[in-house]
C-alpha cells in the first residue's frame, strides 16, 4: 500500500489544503517537511475530484493524505473519499459514541465495518489486488479515523467517544470549541485549558492520539499541548493562510523600501 501508514505515536506535522487543488502544493508541503495532508472538504469549494487528485499526488510524493469531509455528509460521500485515495477521514463535530462508531463503520471493510468493496484503488497504485490483501491492509493502515472534538456535548461524552475501537485520533477543533465554550479564540483561557486536559486524559486512558487544530503561530500553546498533553498530530496551517501571511509580509516590506527612499 505505497508504504504509507496510519497515524502512530510521535508528532505528525500536518499541512492543510483548502484553496489550491494543485499537485504543486502537495510537492511544496512534502518538500517543507510535513508528514501529512489535511485536505479540507468541509470549509472549501474543493470537489471530490480535487481531493482525489491531491490524495493521489500525496501517495506518490510520500506524504500521507487525509480528507476532512463535510458534517453529516453521508456514508456514500465518505466511501468516495476513501476510494479516491485518502488514507484516512477526518469527521467534524463528532459529539457522541454513536457518531464515532458510525465513522469507524463506513471507513472499514467487513467484518470491522460496512465499507463497500471496489477494485483498483489508488492506494494500491491501481493494481488489481485480491480481497485477502485489500481488506486487511486497508483496515489496518489505510483507513485512519480522526474524529473532531468541537462541542460541549463531545466534552461530556469524551470517555464514550475515546473508547470506540477503530477511532485513532481525537482532533481538537479549537476555534469551534472555544466558540461553544463562550471564549472565542481565547486559547490562554483556563476554560480552554481545562477542556484540553480532559481530552488528553481520555486519549491516554484509551490509547488514542490527541490532535490539535485551529491554533497557529502560537508556540506557547502548541508547546504546552505537545509536551504536557501528549498531542501527536498538529495541523500547522493551511495553504490559504500561508499565502496570505507571506503576501502581507512581502507588501509591508515593499512599503518599507519605498519609505526608506523618501
Dist CA 107 CA 142 (whole Å):
9
pTM of this prediction exceeds 0.85: yes
pLDDT digits (tens, 9 = 90+) for 153-203: 999 999 999 999 999 999 999 999 999 999 999 999 999 999 999 999 999
Q: What is the pLDDT of residue 5?
A: 46
Domain assignments of the chain as residue spans, ordered by start: 12-260
Q: Nearest 10 degrees: CA dihedral of 40, 44, 48, 49?
A: -110
Residue 93 scores a pLDDT above 90: yes
Mean pLDDT value across the chain: 94
Q: Assign 259 a pLDDT band (cuts: 50, 70, 90).
A: confident
Dist CA 111 CA 168 (whole Å):
18
Q: What is the pLDDT of residue 153?
A: 98
Is 43 assigned a catalytic role? yes
User: Which one is catalytic: 5, 43, 131, 227?
Assistant: 43
pLDDT digits (tens, 9 = 90+) for 104-151: 999 999 999 999 999 899 999 999 999 999 999 999 999 999 999 999
β-partners of residue 238 are: 16
Q: Assign 76 a pLDDT band (cuts: 50, 70, 90).
A: very high
Where is pLDDT greater, at 256 or 113? 113
Q: What is the pLDDT of residue 88?
A: 97
CATH code for the part of the protein at 12-260: 3.20.20.60
Q: What is the pLDDT of residue 10?
A: 59
Q: Assign 213 a pLDDT band (cuts: 50, 70, 90).
A: very high
Which residue, chain included where needed, has cell 492520539?
209
Which residue, chain included where needed, has cell 508504504?
3
Q: What is the pLDDT of residue 262?
A: 62
Q: What is the pLDDT of residue 2?
A: 59
Amino acid at each position: 500500500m505505497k508504504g504509507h501508514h496510519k497515524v502512530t505515536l510521535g508528532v505528525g506535522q500536518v499541512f492543510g489544503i483548502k484553496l489550491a487543488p494543485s499537485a504543486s502544493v502537495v510537492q511544496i508541503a512534502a518538500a517543507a517537511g510535513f508528514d501529512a495532508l489535511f485536505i479540507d472538504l468541509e470549509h472549501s469549494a474543493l470537489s471530490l475530484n480535487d481531493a482525489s487528485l491531491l490524495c493521489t499526488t500525496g501517495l506518490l510524493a510520500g506524504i500521507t493524505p487525509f480528507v476532512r469531509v463535510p458534517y453529516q455528509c453521508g456514508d456514500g460521500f465518505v466511501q468516495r473519499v476513501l476510494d479516491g485515495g485518502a488514507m484516512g477521514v477526518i469527521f467534524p463535530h463528532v459529539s457522541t459514541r454513536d457518531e464515532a462508531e458510525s465513522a469507524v463503520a463506513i471507513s472499514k471493510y467487513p467484518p470491522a465495518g460496512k465499507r463497500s468493496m471496489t477494485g483498483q484503488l489508488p492506494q494500491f497504485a491501481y493494481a488489481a489486488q485480491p480481497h485477502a490483501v485489500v481488506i486487511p491492509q486497508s483496515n489496518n493502515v489505510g483507513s485512519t479515523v480522526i474524529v473532531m472534538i468541537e462541542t460541549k456535548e463531545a466534552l461530556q461524552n469524551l470517555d464514550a467517544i475515546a473508547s470506540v475501537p477503530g477511532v485513532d485520533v481525537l482532533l481538537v477543533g479549537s476555534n469551534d470549541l472555544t466558540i461553544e465554550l463562550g471564549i472565542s479564540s481565547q486559547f490562554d483561557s483556563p476554560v480552554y485549558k481545562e477542556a484540553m486536559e480532559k481530552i488528553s486524559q481520555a486519549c491516554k486512558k484509551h490509547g488514542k492520539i490527541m490532535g490539535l487544530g485551529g491554533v497557529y503561530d502560537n508556540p506557547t500553546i502548541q508547546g504546552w499541548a505537545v509536551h504536557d498533553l501528549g498531542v501527536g498530530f498538529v495541523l500547522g496551517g493551511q495553504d490559504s493562510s500561508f499565502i496570505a501571511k507571506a503576501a502581507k509580509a512581502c507588501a509591508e516590506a515593499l512599503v518599507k523600501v519605498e519609505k526608506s527612499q523618501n
